[in-house]
Chains A and B, each alone.
Chain A
Amino acid sequence: MKSPLIILLLLLFFHSCKWNINSESDSFRIKTEQQKIVEEVDGDYHGILPYPGGVGIRTTLILRKDSTFIFRTENLEDRNIKMVDEGIYSREGDIIIITLKGGEKKYFEADNGKIHCLNNKRQRVDVSRWSQYTLVRR
């Protein structure tokens, strides 16, 4: 009577060990994939964002592997008008979120070496009118 019980306990033990190994393996895989995602977006992104009646705003977003960012904007009509914001960015899938001085959040969407500016509803800015509202990695 005892031996089937021992066998059952041994089977349960081995199954548990296997599950733990799989679980650790999954955890490692997820961490590696997350690392890969972060590595994919780091870089310097540049673009000139137009606005009605003006030359545009030269915009640079630098995303580093350590999750820090530098966001530079410069009015091309008057280059004295420029802002630099720095901080830590966060990610939700392809969405990159940065917080500017004063607390304003800005949203971008990573897309194969490009970053699209998003509005606060996290939708791409009307591309039919403003196709250049995209920053390109150099």
Chain B
Amino acid sequence: MIISESEIALKESRIKGSFRMLLAEDDYANAEYVKLVVRHQDIAVIHAKNGAEAIELFKNNPLVDIVLMDIKMPIMDGYEATREIRKLNQDVPIIALTAFALDGDKEKAISAGCTGYLTKPVGKDMLLSVIGSYLVRGR
């Protein structure tokens, strides 16, 4: 069994307390995959199915350590939800999660307030590596 550096860092950092992730993702299959991978790392997941729900859940859970934000969602997209969350919290890492691979998407996500960017489909190693790097940095 190979354990990546990010997983080791997550395990060591968790001694100081468990992590909470807000996952904003409308696609059931993607959400199930992400939840399985991160729950396996003892990261508690709060799941929102659209941008508006993400904002509500963020307001109700101010101790969220990281946000994984799908960009294309119904009711309110990830760009707008990110801008709203940034009005509430300037520090929480927000990782954009999108199927779009077009030039300019990364810049658009960053300008909306995202701190990082992942393109779907996201492999387990890449997902944990990015999440781990932000969580460990924050502790």
Contacts and interface: CB of A to CB of B under 8 A. Distances in A.
Contact of B28 (A83, A102, A104, A119): A119
B72 interface: no
B100 interface: no
B49 A119 contact: yes
A49 interface: yes
B45 interface: yes
Contacts of A82: 36, 40
B44 A102 contact: yes
Q: How large is the interface on A (under 10, 10 to 19, 20 to 34, 35 or more residues)?
A: 20 to 34
Interface string B28-47: 11101101110110001101
Contact of B45 (A57, A102, A120): A102
Between B27, B29, B120, B123, the greatest number of chain A beta carbons within 10 A of the residue's beta carbon is seen for B29
A125 B120 CA distance: 20
Interface in A111-132: 117, 119-120, 125-126, 130
Interface residues of B, number: 22
Contacts, number: 62
Interface of B: 1, 27-30, 32-33, 35-37, 39-40, 44-45, 47, 49, 99, 120-124
B121 A57 contact: no
B56 to A, nearest CB: 14
| Chain A facing B: main interface SS | loop
Given A81-B37, A117-B28, A125-B28, 20 more contacts: A49-B29, A49-B32, A51-B32, A52-B27, A52-B99, A52-B120, A52-B121, A53-B120, A53-B122, A57-B33, A75-B37, A81-B36, A82-B36, A82-B40, A83-B39, A102-B45, A104-B45, A104-B47, A120-B49, A126-B28
Contact of A53 (B40, B45, B121): B121
B37 to A, nearest CB: 6
A51 B30 contact: yes
